[in-house]
Amino acid sequence: MNAVAPGATITPINASWKDDPTIRKKVESHIPLGRSASAEEIAGVFAFLASDDAAYITGQTLYVDGGLTLHTDFKNNWSS
């Protein structure tokens, strides 16, 4: 069993911040890669885990968040 923990991703459910340039900039400023993920980028991780290339991966959570989990000291809730 594996899990995927996506970070900020451009999908309709995130319209509250993705469609507001000011809020989106604030969200993306916390991501080391400097941008949100596309849905296709997250889907690619699931495809990898379902492939033979990931046959020896088990019991893992893959954080697909552009490096966001590198930061553990958020003092303010900035997410939607």
Indicate if the pLDDT at residue 10 is higher than 70: yes
Return the pLDDT at 79. 60
Estimate to the nearest angstrom the gap between the alpha carbon of 67 and the chain centroid: 8
Q: What is the pLDDT of residue 76?
A: 59
Query: What pTM, to 2 d.p., does this model score?
Result: 0.82
CA 5 to the chain's CA centroid: 7
As a three-state string, the secondary structure of 31-60 is CCCCCCEEHHHHHHHHHHHHCHHHCCCCCC
Model confidence pLDDT, tens digit, residues 27-80? 999 899 999 999 999 999 999 999 999 999 999 999 999 998 887 665 556 565
pLDDT, residue 50, reads 96
